């Protein structure tokens, strides 16, 4: 397959702003994070400050009592659909983005009336120390999935008969391997350890989703019993717990269960109230900023919690724990530090009970993502919004 290096060409940064879906969030952040914003009226936004060029940049402030120096490596801007966040592989070496026209709201939420997004495509990249290597782009008709493994990225394929399939694109292959292909609407899939797959499924004639967990030929199902929908599932790091947002008559809850067997899946279900003004749009919003990759840490599920207007950790044993500082997105950098989007800026701070605002790394909206080690130093990646895409920079911590 042909590849090409994406170079860092000058490109004035711009922000595509849309009306906020939920009160209390900046319009530009909503445009970056929420697919539902595609239907909201647009308005002008103040252009963000450009990211500094690659150099050793002393950053004011302190982390654990010492100044931080950051080596910025801008990778330029890449086109996206203007709405959907890129998805990274666990090892940080590959990235998938949705390009073209964003799927409409019914398709993004797998509602009745969804349709094949023929103007939506998936582009694949390899993250190389010299820049981004573009591996290719699919034909139209696919929805970018919610996470990936080191082999490939999940995609979904709405069909003309109303069904929906779940597949995986290998990083070096633009033709999907269909993992779930039946007469149902299968959506919101997440990969877990040992090849486990969790997803939502409903008959074409229904609006309510069951929770399904598959491993090999074993299929375990938690039925909604005609009253509940299980949305946007994720598996804990050891795959011993499956999480999902649970929606019933406007009541939205966090849910978790043991997927070891069909019986344990049903008997172990625990739920925690979020709001009585819930919807599938709110469920999408809550799960988007962290996604699956950044949303699972050990036995915790990390997601935006509407009631506290911040990211929060949750598991059924320890309950809800708010992440300090009204963080809207977060990435672990190393054992003691994290990068967060808080107060409209990307900050670096201690992850050990952090209460301080943190050192400002980028003076604009950006979504941090964990990257691991780059040239023997801890690093993280930042997506900042452009009018029709995202600008990408790697921040490497020198001390």
DSSP for 256-308, written as a single string = EE-TTSHHHHHHT-EEEEEESS--HHHHHHHHHTTTTTTTEETTEEEEEETTT
**Any alpha helices (H) in the chain, and if so which ranges?**
27-33, 105-108, 262-267, 280-288
**Which DSSP symbol is given to 176?**
P
Q: By three-state DSSP, how is residue 32 classified?
A: helix
Degrees, nearest 5: CA angle 251-255-259:
145
pLDDT of residue 251: 97
pLDDT of residue 19: 26
Whether 45 contacts 112, CB under 8 Å: no
pLDDT of residue 171: 97
Whether 183 contacts 165, CB under 8 Å: no
pLDDT of residue 353: 67
Spans in the chain with pLDDT lower than 50: 1-66
Cα 375 to Cα 26: distance, rounded to the nearest angstrom: 35
Q: By three-state DSSP, how is residue 41 classified?
A: coil
Residue 335, class by beta-carbon neighbours within 10 Å (0-12 exposed, 13-18 middle, 19+ buried)?
A: exposed
What tokens does 285 get?
């919003």
């Amino acid at each position: 397959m042909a590849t090409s290096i994406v170079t860092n060409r000058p490109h004035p940064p711009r922000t595509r702003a849309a009306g906020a879906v939920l009160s209390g969030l900046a319009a530009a952040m909503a445009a970056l994070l929420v697919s539902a914003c595609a239907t909201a009226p647009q308005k002008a936004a103040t252009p963000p400050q450009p990211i500094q060029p690659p150099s050793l940049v002393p950053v004011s402030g302190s982390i654990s009592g010492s100044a931080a120096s950051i080596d910025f490596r801008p990778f330029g801007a890449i086109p996206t659909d203007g709405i959907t966040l890129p998805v990274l592989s666990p090892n940080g070496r590959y990235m998938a983005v949705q390009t073209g026209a964003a799927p409409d709201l019914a398709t993004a939420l797998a509602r009745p009336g969804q349709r094949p997004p023929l103007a939506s495509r998936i582009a694949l990249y390899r993250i190389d120390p010299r820049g981004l290597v573009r591996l290719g782009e699919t034909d139209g008709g696919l929805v970018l999935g919610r996470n990936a493994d080191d082999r490939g990225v999940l995609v979904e394929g709405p069909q003309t008969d109303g069904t929906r399939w779940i597949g995986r694109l290998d990083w070096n292959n633009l033709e999907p391997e269909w993992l779930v292909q039946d007469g149902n609407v299968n959506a919101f899939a997440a990969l877990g350890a040992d090849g486990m797959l969790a997803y939502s499924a409903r008959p074409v004639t229904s609006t309510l989703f069951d929770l399904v967990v598959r491993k090999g030929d074993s299929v375990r199902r938690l039925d909604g019993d005609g009253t509940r929908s299980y949305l946007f599932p994720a598996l804990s790091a050891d795959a011993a717990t499956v999480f999902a947002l649970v929606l019933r008559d406007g009541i939205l809850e966090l849910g978790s269960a043991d997927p070891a067997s069909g019986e344990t899946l049903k008997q172990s279900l625990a739920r925690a109230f979020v709001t009585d003004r819930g919807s599938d749009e709110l469920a999408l919003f809550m799960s988007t900023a962290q996604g699956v990759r950044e949303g699972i840490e050990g036995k915790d599920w990390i997601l935006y919690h509407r009631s506290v207007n911040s990211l929060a950790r949750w598991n059924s044993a320890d309950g809800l724990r708010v992440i300090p500082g009204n963080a809207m997105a977060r990435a672990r950098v190393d054992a003691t530090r994290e990068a967060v989007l808080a107060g409209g800026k990307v900050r670096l701070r201690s992850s050990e009970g952090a209460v301080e605002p943190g050192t400002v790394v980028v003076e604009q909206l950006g979504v941090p993502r964990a990257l691991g080690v780059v040239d023997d130093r801890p690093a993280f990646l930042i997506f900042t919004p452009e009018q029709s895409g995202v600008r990408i920079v790697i921040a490497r911590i020198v001390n």
